[in-house]
Amino acid sequence: MMGDGRAEGVAIVTGAAGGMGSACARKLAAEGWDEFLLCDIHAGRLESLADDLRAGGAQVDVLAGDVADPGWADALLAALGSRKISALIHTAGLAPMMADAPRILVVNLDATVALVDAVRDRMAAGSAAVLYASNSTYFPMPPEAAEAFTSPLPPGGTAQLAHLAPVPELAYPLSKLGVRALVKREAKSFGDRGSRLISVSPGAIDTPMTKDEIPNSEPAQKMIRDSASGRIGRPEEVAAVSVFLCSPEASFAVATDWLVDGGHTAAMGF
């Protein structure tokens, strides 16, 4: 443990070039984390964030690549070397408008399953891993599909479940429901190593992911209007909760989902 009670080791942020990932990395640095491994498919944006954090005194490594590449988890472990992980915030993901259904399933769920398997034994005592899900997982879904996606993935991964999620609008919430189920299932294996596994479900947040989607969606606009906050969220608001969840103060927050959505889900009646 460090002097302030934080776990020893590297803070990994995936999707670090994105809206919430970059906000998480900056917030971790502001809270005193000083050793980073930043991951994203966009090398350029990743490097500019890394430079900012280095200028603040942090030691930063970057891993540019596709989390869904079968070799990605090994590349992550190679970049980590012999070091332990103090915090993992996994935000890399695709929204419904960004890809077809099979790609959404692979990036959002298969890659997350592989990541959890890869890091489990490398989590430091007192560490935490926060996986990004979505408030859309609280909306109704076809029961047969929901059951399949909350069960352990079959040997062939989501490819074997593709018929249950034929369009992006279904693949997205089902993939994120799978992430929440993964957290419930695997939290004990993390707990046995002194680490916490948890998910965060953002509502509508103002990031590059939503810049085209939300302004053009009347249902999303209505959800936001009717909600307790009455507005879209800022990436920093979700990052603050995510970083809190990685901190020792959140030591009993584990194996569950944290809905950080400004009341959007409640406004939908769920």
Ligand X SMILES: NC(=O)c1ccc[n+]([C@@H]2O[C@H](COP(=O)([O-])OP(=O)(O)OC[C@H]3O[C@@H](n4cnc5c(N)ncnc54)[C@H](O)[C@@H]3O)[C@@H](O)[C@H]2O)c1
- Positions touching ligand X (CB under 6 A) are 15, 17-21, 40-42, 66-68, 91-95, 107, 132, 134, 202, 204-205, 207-210
Smallest separation, CB 195 to ligand X (Å) = 21
Q: Tell the smallest beta-carbon distance from residue 136 to ligand X (Å).
A: 7
**Pick 195 or 207: Cβ nearer ligand X:** 207
Minimum CB distance to ligand X smaller for 12 or for 67: 67
**167 dihedral zone (left: phi>0; alpha: psi -120 to 50; beta):** beta
- The distance of closest approach from Cβ of residue 8 to ligand X in the complex, given in angstroms and rounded to an integer, is 26
List the one residue out of 12, 205, 41, 173 whose CA is nearest residue 108. Answer: 173
| HEC secondary structure over 100-136 | CHHHHHHHHHHHHHHHHHHHHHHEEEEEEEEEECCHH
- Which stretches of the chain are DSSP H helices? 19-30, 43-55, 72-80, 101-105, 111-119, 143-150, 168-191, 218-226, 235-246, 264-267
- Measured from the CB atom, the residue of 15 and 126 that comes closer to ligand X is 15
Judged by CB, which is closer to ligand X: 7, or 73? 73
Q: Which residue number has the CB closest to ligand X? A: 18
Closest by CA position to 238, among listed 210, 269, 268, 267: 210
Report how far residue 135's alpha carbon sits from residue 82's, in angstroms, rounded to the nearest whole number: 36
* Smallest separation, CB 125 to ligand X (Å): 27
- If the CB atoms of residues 7 and 53 are measured against ligand X, the closer one turns out to be 53
Q: How far is the CB of 150 from ligand X (least distance, A)?
A: 18
